[in-house]
Amino acid sequence: MAEHILITGAGGFIGQALATSLLEDKNVRSLILTDVLPPKIPTKSAPVDISTFAADLTDPETCSRLITPEVTTIYLLHGIMSGQAEADLELGLRVNIDSMRFITDAIRKQQDQRSKPIRVVFPSSLAVFGPAKENEVVTENTMPLPQSSYGAEKSITEILLNDFSRRGILDARIVRLPTIIVRPGKPTGAASSFFSGIIREPLNGENSTLPVSRDLKAWVCSSRTVIRNLVKAKDIPETKFQGAGRIVNLPGKTVSIEEMLNGLRVVGGDEAVDLVQERHDEKVASIVGSWPANFDTERARELGFNEDVGLEQAFRDYVEDYMPKANGGR
């Protein structure tokens, strides 16, 4: 079936990597990329019509114009990250909740113009959960108890998409992402930004700040695996989700900060680890410390999602993908 895909928040690294990956899908006929500024068009050539737009998704009319009956799949990648959503409640509510409401409402109003429900892939977060007990393993049936506005906003959107799927208005795939390592680019407003920073900056010869204890454990996943699983999410038959809800905890690895630094030492040497400066930040520590680190991903495996690679491989993949000078100019 010919696919016409809209990606919101497409200017970020996930959006750009996802768009590039989707160009390899022979069923994809067109991509619409939106963000607050017009996203870059992927350089990889493919017989796909690509358009980019600046869009304010907190405006209902903009959402109605973007989501036409021709669009078959939407990836909802836009959002205000955890640290910024905690610091600015009003902004977080507008972007993380109001825009989702306007998008789903635009879909609802077009329902009669579609032969089948539009597929909506929503990357949610482990921030929807509260602190887990020691060695507790989280499943899709674990009750959300977010300890941040960001987590609460993600949980609200999960409930909305589940209900609209139950009604047949749309066909949602809600994938809870682990913390992604290593994100390219500059630090973001996410409380988890340092997880990438303590690897990315030292590999680039720059200092980085570690705001939490080395014994903190986290549920993480390499960027390549996350992108592969986002592509996979749109292709799973709707029947696979019937009776069990739309939420899936995606595969990842449980690692400590100490283990991450050991992996950095293998890939970048002692000199890279020496660039990590420990400086405790209670706000950051309280947010990321409330996220569980152990997940049962049996359902993800049953649905065919990809398992993640090890830490050292994730770091080497980052170097290969985003540090071309370190790879002989590749």
**What is the predicted pLDDT for the residue at 190?**
79
Q: What pLDDT is stored for residue 237 in this prediction?
A: 95
From the list 141, 142, 174, the residue with the least C-alpha distance to 248 is 174
Give whole-number Cα distances, 131 to 144, 218, 289, 297, 328, in Å: 10, 12, 7, 18, 44
DSSP state of 182: -
Nearest residue to 183 via CA among 218, 216, 227, 153: 227
CA 293/CA 212 separation, integer angstroms: 15
326 vs 228: CA distance, rounded Å: 24
**Residue 8: pLDDT above 50?**
yes
Strand partners, 49: 30
Determine the Cα angle at 184 with ends 146 and 88, to 5°: 40
The predicted structure's pLDDT at residue 178? 94
**Which pLDDT score, from 0 to 100, does residue 186 have?**
84
Could you tell me the two tokens for 208?
């980085």
Assess whether 75 carries a catalytic annotation: no
Which pLDDT belongs to residue 325? 57
For the stretch 11-40, pLDDT in tens is 999 999 999 999 999 999 999 999 999 999
Maximum C-alpha span of the chain: 61
The separation between CA 162 and the C-alpha centre of its own chain, rounded to angstroms, equals 18
Residue 76 has pLDDT above 90, yes or no: yes
Confidence grade of residue 47 (pLDDT, cut at 50, 70, 90) = confident
Q: Is the pLDDT of residue 54 over 70?
A: yes
Average pLDDT of 58-78?
96
Q: Is the pLDDT higher at 121 or at 81?
A: 121
Supply the mean pLDDT for the chain. 93
Identify the pLDDT of residue 185: 85
C-alpha–C-alpha distance, residues 234 and 171, integer Å: 10
In the set 75, 150, 318, 322, the catalytic residue is 150
- Tens digit of each residue's pLDDT (9 = 90 or more) over 80-94: 998 899 999 999 999
Supply the pLDDT for residue 324: 66
> What's the pTM?
0.92
Buried b (16+ CB within 10 A) or exposed e, 292-320: bbebebebbeebebbebbebeebbbbbbe
Q: For the stretch 135-148, what's the b/e string if a residue is b when 16 or more beta carbons lie within 10 angstroms of its beta carbon?
A: eeebebebebebbb
Per-residue pLDDT band for 221 (boundaries 50, 70, 90) equals very high
Mean pLDDT across the stretch 45-61? Answer: 93
Q: Please compute, for residue 309, the number of CA atoms within 13 A of its CA located in the half-sphere on the CB side.
A: 18
Domain 3-177+221-249: CATH superfamily, name plus number:
NAD(P)-binding Rossmann-like Domain (3.40.50.720)
Q: Indicate if the pLDDT at residue 70 is higher than 90.
A: yes
Residue 189: pLDDT over 90: no
Mean pLDDT of 65-75: 96
Percentage of the residues of the chain whose pLDDT score is greater than 90? 81
pLDDT, average across residues 207-214: 95
Specify the DSSP element, H or E, that contains 229: helix 223-235
Residue 182 CA to residue 179 CA, distance in Å, equals 9
pLDDT digits (tens, 9 = 90+) for 174-184: 999 999 999 98
pLDDT one-digit tens code per residue, 247-295? 999 999 999 999 999 999 999 999 999 999 999 999 899 888 888 999 9
Beginning with the edge strand found earlier in the chain, give each strand of the sheet holding 170-177 in spatial order.
49-54, 28-35, 3-8, 73-76, 118-125, 170-177, 247-249
pLDDT at residue 328 greater than cutoff 50: no
126-146 residue pLDDT tens: 999 988 787 889 999 999 999
Confidence of residue 156 (pLDDT cuts 50, 70, 90): very high
Counting other chains too, the contacts that 283-287 makes at CB distance below 8 Å and 24 or more residues apart are 283/83, 283/86, 283/191, 284/83, 284/191, 284/194, 284/211, 284/212, 285/211, 285/212, 285/213, 285/216, 286/147, 287/82, 287/83, 287/86, 287/127, 287/147, 287/148, 287/191
Tell how strand 179-181 and strand 49-54 pair up.
unpaired
- Quote the pLDDT of residue 330: 35
Q: Is the pLDDT of residue 329 over 90?
A: no
First-to-last C-alpha distance (Å) of the chain: 35
